[in-house]
Structure 1
Amino acid sequence: MSWEFLLTTFIVVASPGTGAIYTLAAGLSGGAKASLVAACGCTLGIVPHMVAAISGVAALFHTSDMAFQALKFAGVAYLLFMAWSMLRAKGALGIDQDGAMLDARQVIGKAILINLLNPKLSIFFLAFLPQFVGADEPAPIARMLLLSLVFMAMTFAVFATYGVFASTLRRYVLTSLRVQRWMQRSFATAFGLLALQLAATNR
């Protein structure tokens, strides 16, 4: 495993994005357990993109503008839905008055959809992974699978770190409704901006 691959993967994973933001929100609203569930969901959302890249299906999104645009705007719509849901959630940051967090299945389901509906991930895997598979590689599929699993493991580790760190601030957030409302609007705005960014991207 080359250090170039590990470094590039870390930079890509650690860069702020929809998955990282959702995991931070989960940590603040539901604590460490919720953040780990969200990180797991975001990681599982990578699997379809990994399979698509390895099987060559991702090439369809690279060559077919209609397919890419359809998936892209599905992702935009879901991010806008996340922003709207954040604003209208019962209690700030989606915490009920008794402090209970959302059902784990809802958390992991939303996390999976966030990454699943991101067509840039398929293109990323298609363009990124082959660079680290040599032309003389005896088992290129196995090599790409290994690299994908490393990418997923780093995604989970980084996102979980973000979420657990956010969960340490949870008790301070819970003591101030004003801070909760500010965080709620900030995350909603972040999801909205990410939706606009995705809408403006091209292949």
Structure 2
Amino acid sequence: MIIPGVENLHVFILAGLALNLTPGPDMLYVAGRGAAQGRQAGIVSALAITTGGLAHLAGAVAGISAFILLSATLFQVLKWAGAGYLIYLGLKNFLTRQEVLKKQAFKKQPLTEIYKQGMLVSALNPKVALFFLSFLPQFIDPKSPDTAWQSAFLGLIFMTTGTLVNVLVGLSAGYLGERLKTPKAQKIRLRFTGGLFVALGLGLALSGRE
């Protein structure tokens, strides 16, 4: 026990890293952004996902997330909002016309806009809050008087390793995407990432609380 009240820290780090390396919605979103819009977009998307995750972590520590998850209505509203936003982004990419692609070759989407979109994608996913509330307590001593601090500590470790993994994914996908700069290749990339975002949105919409 390195931190008072935190149990099996080394096991937590290894388990968290294994989860971070497992392809999931966040990783696929970052990869899609990087492939479609380059390395910078991939990195910014990874940082945006982290920001949204930190909001969920803060909510979990403060007890707000538990309140939301106990309300079936609030959970569904948040889930459908996140799913709808992902589907919107996907259709926006998928339906982009050829003349717009030519303009985008000279004008990239602002990184601030990419950051805001990624943050919303993560913040509107109630499954992130559910993960923190179910995973972190397994490594905390319930008899400890300061479980909030321990939850925050473990959550920050998990978010740090997750950010590093997603940044590497964004860089790799961006590098591959930047090698394909022809209009035809760009069109294929946007269609692919658009379909990917729609699939992620549908997956979130159809998922339960488990």
| Alpha carbons 1:18, 1:194 under 8 Å: kept | yes
Equivalent positions of 1:96-107 (< 5 A) are: 96-98=104-106, 100-107=107-114
Residues 14-68 of structure 1: per-residue CA shift (max 9 Å, x gap): 3333322232233234432222211111100112211111111111233211111
Tell which deviates more after alignment, 1-10 or 125-134.
1-10
| One-letter identity of the residue aligned with 2:120 | L
The answer on 1:73 being equivalent to 2:80 is yes
1:49 to 2:56 alignment: yes
In structure 2, C-alpha distance between the alignment counterparts of 1:192 and 1:34, rounded to whole Å: 19
The one-letter amino acid of 1:12's match is: L
Contact 1:45 1:113 survives alignment (8 Å): yes
Residue 21 (structure 2) aligns with? 14
Matched, 1:91 2:101: yes
Task: Answer whether contact 1:18 1:114 (CA < 8 A) is retained.
Answer: no
Q: Which runs of 5+ in 2 are unaligned?
A: 1-7
Amino acid across the alignment from 1:71? L
Q: Which residue of 1 aligns with 2:4?
A: none
Q: CA, structure 1 residues 96+58, in 2 after alignment: closer, same or farther (shift >3 Å)? A: same
Q: Does 2:139 align with 1:139?
A: no
How far apart in 2 are the matches of 1:150 and 1:2?
10
Q: Give the distance between the partners of 1:101 and 1:159, measured in 2 at CA.
A: 21
Higher mean C-alpha deviation, range 132-141 or range 161-170: 132-141
> In the aligned structure 1, how far is the partner of 2:185 from the partner of 2:37?
16
Give the AA of the match of 1:56.
G
| Maintained 8 Å contact 1:17/1:194 | no
More displaced 10-residue stretch of structure 1: 111-120 or 192-201? 192-201
One of 171, 178, 198 as aligned partner of 2:178: 171
Partner Cα distance (2:16, 2:119) in 1: 20
Residue 189 of structure 1, aligned match among 190, 195, 203: 195
The alignment's TM-score, normalised by the length of structure 1, stands at: 0.89
Change over 3 Å in CA distance of 1:138–1:60 after alignment to 2: closer
One-letter identity of the residue aligned with 2:203: Q
Structure 1 residue 153 corresponds to structure 2 residue 163: no
SS at match of 1:23: helix
The 3-state SS of whatever aligns with 1:91 is helix
- Name the aligned partner's letter for residue 71 of structure 2: S
